[in-house]
Every structure is written in structure tokens, then in C-alpha cells.
């Protein structure tokens, strides 16, 4: 069974440029999460989707960040414009409601560097 797929793996951009990250969850997983991980820290939740609905986006900086999950499968996280402080690893995870107590499975992440 394929795991969570993310692309790109690495992205280097200049500040004020836009950037987008893509995530394909494990097949059949209805819940999708985007996390941000700074160096030496644990991940922090940005947004959680149940199917197409964003049920928790309280930690998403909505002035510059946006996300979508069309058709309840793939998801895209966008930053526009990027700032120096956005340099971090962006992780996508998925889980199956009612299975295993919502065990979350993570993708490899996208490492963003903003110059």
C-alpha cells in the first residue's frame, strides 16, 4: 500500500514569491492534515480536513496561507507571498476515521527555504 505522497520534496524561493505544496493521502483515508515543522521542534497543525471540509484551520495564517482539498482526496497548500520566516518543513498526514483511533500517517514532507 502506498503511503502519503508529497511533492515537491524541496523548494527554494525568494521572499514575496508564491509557492504551492501538493499531498496525496493514503487511499481511502478521509482525514487529511497539514503540519508545519520548524528545526528542532515537533510538528504543529495548520489545517485538518474531513473529506472536503476544513474542520480545523485555526492555526492557519489566513492572510498568506490557503489550502484546498477538492473531491476529498488530494490537497494543495499555498503560501502567497512567502516570507523568510516561512522556511520550514511542511508535512502532510492522513488518517482513517474510526480506524485505529485515528492513527496518523505522515508523508516525507516538503522542505521550504525562503531567501
Partner 1 sequence: KQEVTQIPAALSVPEGENLVLNCSFTDSAIYNLQWFRQDPGKGLTSLLLIQSSQREQTSGRLNASLDKSSGRSTLYIAASQPGDSATYLCAAPMDSSYKLIFGSGTRLLVRP
Residues lying near partner 1 in the complex (CB under 8 A) are found at 4, 6, 31, 33, 40-45, 48, 55-56, 91, 93, 95, 100-109, 111
User: In the complex with partner 1, which residue's Cβ is closer, 15 or 62?
Assistant: 62
To partner 1, the closest distance from the beta carbon of 109 in angstroms equals 5
To partner 1, the closest distance from the beta carbon of 16 in angstroms equals 27
User: In the complex with partner 1, which residue's Cβ is closer, 79 or 92?
Assistant: 92
To partner 1, the closest distance from the beta carbon of 9 in angstroms equals 9
Q: Which residue matches cell numbers 525568494?
A: 14
What is the C-alpha separation between 93 and 85, in angstroms, rounded? Answer: 22
> Which residues have C-beta within 8 Å of that of residue 103, sequence separation ≥ 6?
95
Q: How far is CA 110 from CA 59, 64, 113, in A?
A: 19, 18, 10
Amino acid at each position: 500500500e502506498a503511503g502519503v505522497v508529497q511533492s515537491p520534496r524541496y523548494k527554494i524561493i525568494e521572499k514575496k514569491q508564491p509557492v504551492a505544496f501538493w499531498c496525496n493521502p493514503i487511499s481511502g483515508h478521509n482525514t487529511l492534515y497539514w503540519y508545519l515543522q520548524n528545526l528542532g521542534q515537533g510538528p504543529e497543525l495548520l489545517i485538518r480536513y474531513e473529506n472536503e471540509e476544513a474542520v480545523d484551520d485555526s492555526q492557519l495564517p489566513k492572510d498568506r496561507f490557503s489550502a484546498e482539498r477538492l473531491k476529498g482526496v488530494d490537497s494543495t497548500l499555498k503560501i502567497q507571498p512567502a516570507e523568510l520566516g516561512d522556511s520550514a518543513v511542511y508535512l502532510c498526514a492522513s488518517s482513517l476515521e474510526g480506524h485505529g483511533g485515528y492513527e496518523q500517517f505522515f508523508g516525507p514532507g516538503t522542505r521550504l527555504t525562503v531567501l
